[in-house]
Amino acid sequence: SRKVTVAVIPGDGIGTEVMEPTLGILEAVGERHGLEFAWQHHDWSCEYYTRTGAMMPEDGLEQLAAADQILLGAVGFPGVPDHVSLWGLLIPIRRAFRQYINLRPVRLMPGIDSPLVLREGTEIDFVVVRENNEGEYSEVGGRMYRGTPDEFAVQESVFTRRGVERAARFALDLAASRRGSLASATKSNGIVHTMPFWDEVVHDCARDYPGVEVRDYHIDALAALFVLDPGRFDVVVASNLFGDILTDLGAAIIGSIGIAPSANLNPEGEHPSMFEPVHGSAPDIAGQGIANPLGQIWAASLMLDHLGHPQAAAEVVSAIEASLTSGVRTRDLGGTASTTEVADAVLRHVTSEGAAA
Ligand code: NAD
Ligand code: IPM
Ligand code: MN
C-alpha cells in the first residue's frame, strides 16, 4: 500500500471539531484503496499564538514542506486580530507552496433544498477557479499616520501575466474536460485598471481552446446571476477577492456554507497542496458540537482526487450524499444532528460501500 504523509492543522473554533472525524473517514476509505495515512498533527492556531507569540513555529513551513499534502480546518478567533492569524498561517502556506489555484466546487447535493426557488430542471453544478496567490490580496501597501487626521490605508492589486495566465489555463483545461463553458469574472468597464488586463490575458489563453466558449461577466452582474440563473455556469474563473466573495455566495446557494469544500492546489505537485472547507472557524457556534462537518469531509475527498484516487474520492462524495438523503443533518441544513452524528453517518456509508464493492 502507498503511504501518504498528511500535515493536519485543525486550527481554531469549529476547525478542530470538523477535522477529527474527517481523519477517521479518510482512514476507512484509504484502507480499501491501498492508501495508508501518516498524520502529522500541528496545533498551530490562535491558542498557539497566545502561548508562543506566533501562529506557527519559525520552521513551520519547512515542517509542512516534508508532508505530501495539508489538511486545514479554519484559522482565526476573537482575541487575536484576523490580520495577525491569517498573515501568520493561512496566507503564508498558500503562497510558500505556490498553491495558486483555489478550486471550489459549487454543487447542489441530492436531498438539500437550495434557498433559491429554482426553475424546473435547473441543476447547480459548477466549479469556481479562484486565483489564490496575488491580485487584491497583495502585500504592497499598508496603513500610515495611524490615529492622526491624515490617517490612510492603501493596498495595490498586483496582477502578473504569469499569475493570470496559469489561473486562466487551469480553468480552460477544466472547462474543456466538462461542459466547455467558461465564465470570467471581471470589472472591465475601465474603472478598475487591472481588469482589462485580466480580460486580455484570459482571452489570449482562450485562443488555444477553440472548444471552450468564454464569456466575460462584470462581477456585480455575475453575483446576481448566481442567484437568478445558477444553472448556466460550468466553470467560473475569478481573481482572489472576487473568487472569495463568489464562493461564499456559491456555498449559500447550495444550502449552507458548512458544506462547501476548497482545494488550494499546487498543480505541478512540486509542493504540498492544502484542503480546507470554504467556511471559517465560526466562533458563534464553536464548542457546541453542532458544526456541519461535510465541508471538511468533501475537502478531504478533493485531496483523494488530487492524490490520484478518483474512485476513493467519489466514494466519499457518495457517502456524503447518502447521509444527506437519509436525513441526518446539522442545524444549518434544518436538522438536529450533531457534528459527530453526521460524520458517523458518512463513515457508515463509506464502510458499507466498501462492503458492497
Ligand atoms: P465563518 O465561515 O466562520 O462563519 C460564517 C457563518 O456561517 C457563521 O454564522 C457560522 O456559524 C456559519 N458556519 C460556518 N461554518 C459552519 C459549519 N461548518 N456548520 C454550520 N455553520 C457554519 O465566517 P466569519 O464569521 O466571517 O469568520 C470567522 C473567523 O474565521 C474569522 O476569524 C475569519 O477570519 C476566519 N476565517 C477563516 C477561514 C479559513 O481559515 N480558511 C475562512 C473564513 C473565515
Ligand atoms: C477563504 C477565507 C480567507 C480568504 C480569509 C480567511 C483570508 O475567507 O478561504 O475563503 O479570503 O481567502
Ligand atoms: Mn472566504
What ligand is nearest to the CA atom of residue 99? 2
> In terms of residues, how long is the chain?
357
Residue 354 has what pLDDT? Answer: 63
Q: Is 61 in the pocket of ligand 2 (CB under 6 A)?
A: no
Residues 236 and 134 in one domain: yes
Render pLDDT for 5-17 as a digit per residue (tens, 0 to 9): 999 999 999 999 9
Q: What band does 321 get if pLDDT is binned at 50, 70 and 90? A: very high
pLDDT of residue 40: 98
Angstrom distance (rounded) from CA 157 to CA 148? 25
pLDDT of residue 186: 97
Q: Residue with the nearest Cα to atom 6 of ligand 1?
A: 282
The mean pLDDT value for 312-340 works out to 97
- Degrees, nearest 5: CA angle 37-299-311: 65
Q: Among candidates 33, 6, 3, 34, which has minimal Cα distance to 22?
A: 6
**Percent of the chain at pLDDT above 70?**
99
Q: Are residues 36 and 162 in the same domain?
A: no
Whether 249 lines ligand 2, by a CB cut-off of 6 Å, is no
User: In terms of domains, do 68 and 120 share one?
Assistant: no
Give the pLDDT of residue 352: 85
**Is residue 53 domain-resident?**
yes
d(CA 126, CA 119): 17
Parent domain of 130: 113-253
> Which atom in ligand 2 lies closest to the alpha carbon of residue 248?
10
95 plus 222 within the same structural domain: no
**Ligand showing the shortest atom-to-Cα distance for residue 239:** 2
User: What mean pLDDT comes out for the span 252-277?
Assistant: 98
Please identify, among 253, 287, 322, the residue that sits at the C-terminal boundary of a domain: 253
Average pLDDT over residues 284-305: 98
Residue 258 lies in a domain: no
Q: What is the pLDDT of residue 190?
A: 74
Instruction: Give me the chain's average pLDDT, please.
Output: 96
Per-residue model confidence as pLDDT tens digits over 111-140: 999 999 999 999 999 999 999 999 999 999
* 274 has pLDDT over 90: yes
pLDDT band at 356 (very low <50, low <70, confident <90, very high): low
The CA 29 to ligand 2 mean position distance, Å, reads 29
Our measurement of the distance from residue 114's CA atom to the centroid of its chain's CA atoms, rounded to an integer in Å, reads: 20
Kindly state if the Cβ of 245 falls inside 6 Å of ligand 2.
no
User: How far is the centre of ligand 3, averaged over its atoms, from the C-alpha of 243 (Å)?
Assistant: 8
pLDDT at 275: 99
* Residue percentage of the chain with pLDDT more than 90: 96
Query: Is residue 355 predicted with pLDDT exceeding 80?
Result: no
Number of domains in the chain: 2
Residue 105 lies inside a defined structural domain of this protein: no
- Is residue 41 assigned to a domain? yes
Among candidate residues 253, 286, 304, the one where a domain is terminated: 253
Categorize the per-residue pLDDT at 357 as very low, low, confident or very high, splitting at 50, 70 and 90: low
Q: What 3-state class would DSSP assign to 269?
A: coil
Instruction: Report the C-alpha gap between 182 and 236 in whole angstroms.
Output: 6
In a domain, 170, yes or no: yes
Q: Is residue 161 part of a domain?
A: yes
pLDDT at 340 over 60: yes
Residues 135 and 218 in one domain: yes
Site to substitute for ligand 2 among 90, 103, 245, 249, most atoms within 8 A of C-beta: 90
Which of 77, 82, 86 to mutate for ligand 2's pocket (most ligand atoms within 8 Å of CB)? 86
- Domain shared by 66 and 14, yes or no: yes
**Nearest ligand to the C-alpha of residue 131?**
2
Cell of 251: 456555498
Residues 6+ apart with CB under 8 A from 50: 79, 80
Q: Whose Cα sits closest to atom 3 in ligand 2?
A: 244
Beta bridge partners of 3: 36
Domain end position, chosen among 200, 228, 253: 253
CATH number of the domain residue 205 falls in = 3.40.718.10
ipTM score over 0.90, yes or no: yes
Distance CA 350, CA 21 (A): 13
Residues 41 and 169 in one domain: no
Confidence category of residue 189, pLDDT binned at 50, 70, 90: confident
Residues 72 and 1 in one domain: yes
Do 284 and 230 have their domain in common?
no
Whether residue 183 is predicted with pLDDT greater than 90 in this model: the reply is yes
- How many angstroms separate the CA atoms of 68 and 79, rounded? 32
Q: Determine, yes or no, domain membership for 107.
A: no
Q: What is the pLDDT of residue 191?
A: 84
At residue 97, the pLDDT reads 98
> Is residue 28 over pLDDT 90?
yes
Residues 229, 122, single domain; the answer is yes
Is 210 part of a structural domain of the chain? yes
Give the mutation target among 257, 264, 274, 340 for probing the ligand 1 site: most ligand atoms within 8 A of CB.
Answer: 257
Going by alpha carbons, the residue nearest to atom 5 of ligand 2 is: 86
Cell of 105: 466546487
Q: Which atom number of ligand 2 is nearest to the Cα of residue 94?
A: 12
